[in-house]
Amino acid sequence: MPEVIKLKKGLNIRLKGEADKILSPPVKAVRYAVRPVDFHGLTPRLLVRAGDSVKAGSPVVEDKFTPELRLTSPVSGTVKEIVRGERRRLLEIVIEAVGDEYIDFGKGDPAAMSREEIEKRMLESGVWPVIRQRPYHIVARPGVKPKSIFISGFDTAPLAPDYDFIMHNSDCSLFNKGIEVLTRLTDGDVNLVLDGSNVSGSVMKGIGGVKIHFVKGPHPAGNSGVHIHHIDPVNKGETVWYLNLQDVIVTGALFSEGRYRNDRIIALAGSEVMKSGYHRIRCGASIEGLVKGKLRDGGGDLRYISGNVLTGSAIAADGFLGFYDNMITVIPEGNRYEFMGWLEPGLNKYSATRSFLSTLLPGKKFIMDTNYHGGERAFVFTGDYERVLPMDIFPKHLLKAILVGDIDKMEQLGIYEVAEEDFALCEFVCPSKIEVQTIIRKGLEMMIKEMS
């Protein structure tokens, strides 16, 4: 038996609406978008104008400070619209897909290429941003040699897709090619972390070129941040990279086919989805066609989320799949008052505490809406964050250090190792309704500024 890292802390939210394991035929989308807001640590400079025609792989946005870092169009077509938010913040570059033209970056054998060539190829094709780094949970900085690379082979987030199912339906040769590429980027290990609760059944345990680890436990046991913390922790001055499983395939496709082809399989899940399942889709596609006819028609408002319910981003009903997301979740909005709601016995109210009667239904799955279920208050209770954070970190102390802007303390308390997604459950369980993820992000931004 291989060694399994067992984590006790964490929480599997018993949310209703897991996706059925059925792979549907692909739905072609017309509109696609590049969303610079998906990329932390990137200061976008727009390279196209509305009306420009682009090919798959054409640069659309570059980073102001590292111009070789660029975002490229996932499809060929015409730039339809540039959407800006408050203070002209660049939100979306909408592209209408026409034809199937792509820029040929040339096939390549990673074993025969130098590290610089590989890096350059990934940067110019727009594949590079699939790699992110700790510290700071930002797009990996080019030119840095990480001490190791992590790939998470399972996702423990609520309603998350089953990676084994996805891999079963994916092109394994592209994955292997991707691994080959990654091993050239670091002198350390490329670590593939698999679900320790299914050691024998894993599709991926035979994959070569990587060091395989098993981690077992409730969410966030599938987060790369947690894996890195337990396997090869980030100390000051060190960098570790990580990427999503399917982005390894995207990387492999670049070198096998010479093109930027960001296709993936995503799950459509959530309590408001009647016909859930898995779909092949290209990154950045509008979800309009995907969700059409598959939702419950209850009359209430719906929240469409690109990603999971803890860390995903809210999008419009015809919004776009985010760059790092592998699922679309649809849940009810909670924009209604509830009379004496806090006093109810709460048979259908899920809580991580056992203060509602729902505790008596251990197997039940719950529908949850987007209501806060209470007002924001000061920190009062303690121990609740610690129970859902499987890292050697003092969450409240770190948060308070960020709130007062104490850089030294943040560093000492482990800010380099965390990302907001690792704290998502703290935010979920918080009875004081504190915006934990926002605070963590603020702390990370502060550190970036301080260190640059």
Partner 1 sequence: MNFLRKQLDRVKPHFEKGGKLSRFHSVFDGFETFLFVPDKVTQRGSHIRDHIDLKRSMFTVVVALIPALLFGAYNIGLQHYLAFGPEETGLDGSVTSLFIFGIIKVLPMLVVSYGVGLGIEFFTAQIRGHEINEGYLVTGMLIPLTLPIDIPLWMLGLAVAFAVIIGKEVFGGTGMNILNPALTARAFLFFSYPSWMSGDLVYVHGLVDNPDVVDGFSGATSLALAAAHDISSLPSASDMIIGTIPGVVAETSVIAIGIGALILLVTGVGNWKIMFSMIAGGYLMGLLMNLLAVNAFMELPAYYHLIMGGFMFGAVFMATDPVTAAQTETGKWIYGLLIGILTVLIRVLNPAFPGGVMLAILLMNVFAPLIDHYVVEAGIKRRVKRAAA
Q: Minimum Å distance from CB 362 to partner 1?
A: 14
Q: Minimum Å distance from CB 14 to partner 1?
A: 12
Nearest by Cα to 170 from 323, 325, 327, 23: 23
DSSP character for 23? Answer: E
The Cβ of residue 281 has, within 10 Å, a number of other Cβ atoms equal to: 24
CA distances from 149 to 242, 254, 382 (A): 5, 19, 34
Q: Minimum Å distance from CB 370 to partner 1?
A: 4
Q: Given the complex with partner 1, which of 213 and 303 has the nearer CB atom?
A: 303
Q: Minimum Å distance from CB 214 to partner 1?
A: 22
Q: Given the complex with partner 1, which of 177 and 441 has the nearer CB atom?
A: 441
Q: Given the complex with partner 1, which of 91 and 203 has the nearer CB atom?
A: 91
Q: Minimum Å distance from CB 20 to partner 1?
A: 21
Q: Minimum Å distance from CB 102 to partner 1?
A: 35
Q: Minimum Å distance from CB 443 to partner 1?
A: 14
CA distances from 13 to 16, 73, 365 (A): 9, 36, 9
Q: Given the complex with partner 1, which of 44 and 414 has the nearer CB atom?
A: 414
- Chain position carrying tokens 């482990």: 414
- Chain position carrying tokens 């209501």: 371
Q: Given the complex with partner 1, which of 169 and 353 has the nearer CB atom?
A: 353
Q: Minimum Å distance from CB 184 to partner 1?
A: 27
3-state secondary structure of 97: strand
Q: Given the complex with partner 1, which of 86 and 112 has the nearer CB atom?
A: 86
- Cβ(301)–Cβ(52) under 8 Å? no
DSSP character for 307? Answer: S
Q: Given the complex with partner 1, which of 109 and 376 has the nearer CB atom?
A: 376
| Structure tokens given for 37 | 């807001």
Q: Give Rg (Cα) of the chain.
A: 21
* H or E stretch covering 424: helix 424-429
Q: Minimum Å distance from CB 166 to partner 1?
A: 23
Q: Given the complex with partner 1, which of 293 and 372 has the nearer CB atom?
A: 372
* H or E stretch covering 176: helix 172-183
Q: Given the complex with partner 1, which of 159 and 207 has the nearer CB atom?
A: 159
3-state secondary structure of 346: coil
In angstroms, the CA 442 to CA 374 distance is: 24
Nearest by Cα to 50 from 7, 86, 83: 83
In angstroms, the CA 448 to CA 42 distance is: 12
